[in-house]
Every structure is written in structure tokens, then in C-alpha cells.
Amino acid sequence: MSLRIAVVKGDGIGPEVIPEAQKILEHFLTDADFFEVELGLAKWEKTGSACSPDDIRELKGADAIIFGAVTTPPDPDYRSVLLQIRHELDLYANLRPIRSLRPNPDGSFVDMMIVRENTEGLYSGIEEIGTERSTTLRVVTKAGSRRIAEKACSLVLERDRNHQLVIGYKGNVLKSDLLFRDTCSEVASSFGIQTKAVFIDALCLDVLQHPNNYDVIVTTNMFGDILSDVCGYLTGGLGMLPSANIGDTHAFFEPVHGSAPDIAGKGIANPVAAVRSAAMMLEYFGMKQQACLVEESIADLINSGVCTPDLGGCESTSSFGSRLIAVVCKKEERKI
């Protein structure tokens, strides 16, 4: 049976970058069946709902989902579409590779993986909002920490680099983080992996100063969200960072960036984050070679100055996407 891929363009630059990612998927997944699901602000304006139970059902029916970005509607009762999807599909592991395509001045490349717990922490969705006092419950469970630690440890082994897992936490202030740290350490020792627990604020600076000291970093939900945007600095900005949201039964691929209303509609958004997210989907389907080919093709273009304005170039979103497909095809021909 052919794969069923849900395509969610969303809002802002989502509908600009996702077609470029879809071109790559269609190129490699020739038998797949692509179907669109509309979510986000535009849908909320039309129907009063940014993501309905029917939409969730459709997403659950897909083998994988490629997603652009959504804008937060101006509604006090609005529940984040992404939080809803991550909870409903139990996408507990948010994998955010931080890989530079341009060499550093010393010739090295940044290559680390942020493994962010994606269903609890400060994004539990458990909130009491008042006019005098508002609270959000930060949830850390042993089971939630264990499964994300297991994911992180298997990535440490797969990447086979320094066999150390860094745990980003803030246990000096947030006692809930001690459960997270200790569970991650327990799991890591059962995998034979050493751990180093680092306070998240210090970690944000150290990853920028010494990125090559890092391989896999596991952390809680909001810390992972912030840390990955910080790491955008190492790779050329938010237009470069892909991500995968993985559960035991569903997989959802999206750029780290949002809907970027400041540049939406201008045709200048960098599609690389979305395309790399598509490449992560290929890898999820066991097509590692094809995913590498996409990465190499993006690197070739960017290193020869072919890029969108955020990286100092003058390509449009779609012209970059077209040139990318051309490079991918050329590389394939050479390999045959």
C-alpha cells in the first residue's frame, strides 16, 4: 500500500515553504498519496476553529505529516494547534538537529541533536488564567522522562560520537527537574552512556561558545524550544532548522520557525528548514541515502552563494526550491 502523507501548509510563510518541501517528497516518494489538511489562523477565521476533531482524525490517518507553521489566533480561549496535535498524536520526542552546512572558520562543522520532551513540562496545557493571578502547571513524570531519555540514548549510540549525553535542566530552582535529571541519568547508565547535567541558562551560552563539545542534548519542553532557537545562530538562522516530532505511532515533520508574518507574502522565506524537515521524513522511512543527498545538495547551493536573503543571497523561495531539485537530479544521475 502506498504511503499517505498529510500536508499542512498553515499560515504566513507556511504556504510558501511547504510546496518546496513537497517537491522533494514527491521526487523521492513517487507512489505516495499526498493530501492537504487545513489548520491555523486562516481556518479559525473561516470556521471559528483552528484545528477540529476531524482534522486530528485525518492527521492520525497519515503515515507522516509535513507541516509549515501556524499563526496564533487572537483568541483568549485558543488552544495551541501544535500542543493539541502533539498531545493527541502523542508525539513525545521533538528531534531538532543543529547541523551547519557552511564550515566554521576552523574548518569544523556544528553537528548536534537537541532531544526535547514534547508532551509535558511547561507546555502541559494545564493553566488557570485569571485577572489577578495566572498559573501554568509544569509537569515532569518519571514515565515521560524515561521515554525521552531512551530516545536520546538510542540517538547517542546511533550517532556513535563521544557517547556522552548532556542533560539540560534547572534543578537548582525547579525541583521537578531533579526527577528529569535523575531519570535521564538512570536510563543513560542502563545504556552504558555517561551523562553531564548542565543548567540550561549556562548551557545556552556554552553551546554557542563551544558547539563542538556537544553531541546529543536532552531537555524538557520549553527549555528545548528556547535552546533550539538559540542554536539557530550556529547554522545561519531559523530558516535553516528542521525538526521531527516522533511518537510510537505517528510522525510529524516541521521547520523550527514560525509563520514569520514580517516576511510572509514576499516570496523571500528560506525554504531550507522545511526541505530539511522533508529530508528527516525520508530518513524516518529508511531512506537515509536520499536524505543525505538532499542535505548535500542544499550545502552545495548555499556554499556557492545560491540562497535566500536571510543568508545574504537573492533567490526567492521558489527559485531556490527549483534550483535545489535540479541539483538533486544531477547528483542522482552522477550516482547511477
The full 3-state SS of 190-249, as one line of letters, equals HHCCEEEEEEHHHHHHHHHHCHHHCCEEEECHHHHHHHHHHHHHHHCCHHHCEEEEECCC
For the bound state, the minimum distance from the C-beta of residue 80 to Mg ion, rounded and expressed in Å, comes to 11
CA–CA gap between residue 186 and residue 37 (Å, rounded): 41
Among 21, 70, 278, 302, binds ligand NAI (CB under 6 A): 70
Residue 71 interacts with ligand NAI (CB under 6 A): yes or no: yes
Residue nearest to ligand NAI (CB): 258
Q: Does 16 bind Mg ion (CB under 5 A)?
A: no
The one of ligand NAI, Mg ion, none whose footprint includes residue 16, by CB under 5 to 8 A per kind, is none
Number of residues that bind ligand NAI (CB under 6 A): 21
- Interaction of residue 215 with Mg ion, rule CB under 5 A: no
**Look-up of cell digits 493527541:** 88
| Catalytic site positions | 123, 170, 201, 225, 229
Which residues lie across from 319 on neighbouring strands? none
Q: Which is nearer to ligand NAI, 269 or 324 (CB)?
A: 269
Q: Write the CA distances from 203 to 153, 174, 175, 182, 219, integer angstroms.
A: 19, 16, 18, 18, 11
Question: Minimum distance from CB of 249 to ligand NAI (Å)?
Answer: 21
Stretch that binds ligand NAI, among 52-60, 104-112, 253-261, 279-287 (CB under 6 A): 253-261
The partner in contact with residue 225, picked from ligand NAI, Mg ion, none with C-beta cut-offs of 5 to 8 angstroms by kind, is Mg ion
Task: Provide the H-helix boundaries in the chain.
Answer: 14-28, 41-47, 53-60, 81-88, 142-159, 176-191, 200-209, 221-235, 272-284, 288-303, 317-335
Instruction: Please report whether residue 225 would count as binding Mg ion according to CB under 5 A.
Output: yes
List the x/- string, 9-28, binding to ligand NAI by CB under 6 A: ----x---x-----------
Interacting residues with Mg ion (CB under 5 A): 225
